[in-house]
């Protein structure tokens, strides 16, 4: 397969990070193409790329007809079906089902946290005037992820790295950049430090900090 991943700004695009990190954790070769969001012509470019008109988009050019997959969860499933991922879904059926549930929860939930604390890898860590709903969501995330870590023994949510860890990586960045880590369990703080120290994560953050575009507010 000849894979190309179209992503948004590394500084801001949490959904792009999820797909990118899955590819990186599995050492899958791919070409990276960045579309600077909210810049002139970006909407037209996204419409050209996929029916979803959003990032990320995974392009598989080895098919007889070029395949463009949009939505990070669809990309994760396509990669899991196409490759024997060493960092994919848990091998155990029940754990695999729960990992998928956690990804779906992240995909559709925690809207208060995502809206009030948009991802910004260049942000100097400091709190904002958090809403009650945002703080409730932080505690819900804390309970869910801490329970996973206590059950698995870490260092990843299901013991070994997988798709679910890539899915929650932007949440970890939010907890760090909005100075929320003191509100979570020791297990989740240790996990957060482990995720932030991954070479791939450090590469993403460094690249995001070097970008020159600035977006006032973005919640994806």
The 10s digit of each residue's pLDDT in 40-67 is 878 888 788 777 788 999 999 875 678 9
pLDDT at 141: 98
Domain boundaries, the chain: 3-86, 93-203
Greater confidence (50 vs 197) lies with 197
Q: Are strands 31-34 and 67-70 parallel, antiparallel or unpaired?
A: unpaired
Amino acid 66: pLDDT:
84
Is the pLDDT at 126 greater than 80? The verdict is: yes
Average pLDDT of the segment spanning 179-192: 98
Kind and range of the H or E run holding 68 = strand 67-70
φ and ψ at residue 208, rounded to 5 degrees: -65, -40
Residue 30: C-alpha distances to residues 4, 74, 107, 114 (Å): 5, 17, 24, 28
Question: In CATH, what number does 93-203 get?
Answer: 1.20.1050.10
Res. 220 pLDDT band, cuts 50 70 90:
very low
Contact in structure between 14 and 37 (CB atoms under 8 Å): no
Full strand arrangement of the beta sheet holding 31-34: 31-34, 3-7, 57-60, 67-70
CATH fold for domain 3-86: Glutaredoxin (3.40.30)
Which range (52-56, 76-80, 87-91, 128-132) has the least confidence? Answer: 52-56
CA-to-CA distance for 32 and 6, rounded, in angstroms?
Answer: 6
pLDDT band at 167 (very low <50, low <70, confident <90, very high): very high
Asked if the bond preceding 56 is cis, omega within 30° of 0, the reply is: yes
Mean pLDDT of 193-205: 98
> Which residues lie closer than 8 Å to 100 by C-beta, 6 or more apart?
89
């Amino acid at each position: 397969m000849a894979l190309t991943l179209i992503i948004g700004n590394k500084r801001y695009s949490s959904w792009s990070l999820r797909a990118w990190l899955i590819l990186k954790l599995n050492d899958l070769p791919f070409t990276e193409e960045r579309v600077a969001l909210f810049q002139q012509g970006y909407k037209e470019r996204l419409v050209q790329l996929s029916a979803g008109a959003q990032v990320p988009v995974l392009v598989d050019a080895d098919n007889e007809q070029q395949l463009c997959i949009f939505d990070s969860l669809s990309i994760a499933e396509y990669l899991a079906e196409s490759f024997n991922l060493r960092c994919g879904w848990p091998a155990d059926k029940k754990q695999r089902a729960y990992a998928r549930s956690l990804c779906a929860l992240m995909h559709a939930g925690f809207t208060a946290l995502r809206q009030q604390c948009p991802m910004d890898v260049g942000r100097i860590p400091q709190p904002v005037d958090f809403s009650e709903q945002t703080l409730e969501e932080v505690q819900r995330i804390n309970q869910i992820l801490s329970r996973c870590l206590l059950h698995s023994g870490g260092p990843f949510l299901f013991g070994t790295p997988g798709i679910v860890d890539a899915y929650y990586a932007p949440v970890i960045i939010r907890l760090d950049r909005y100075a929320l880590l003191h509100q979570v369990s020791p297990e989740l703080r240790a996990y957060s430090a482990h995720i932030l120290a991954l070479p791939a994560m450090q590469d993403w953050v460094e690249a995001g900090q070097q970008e020159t575009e600035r977006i006032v507010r973005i919640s994806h």
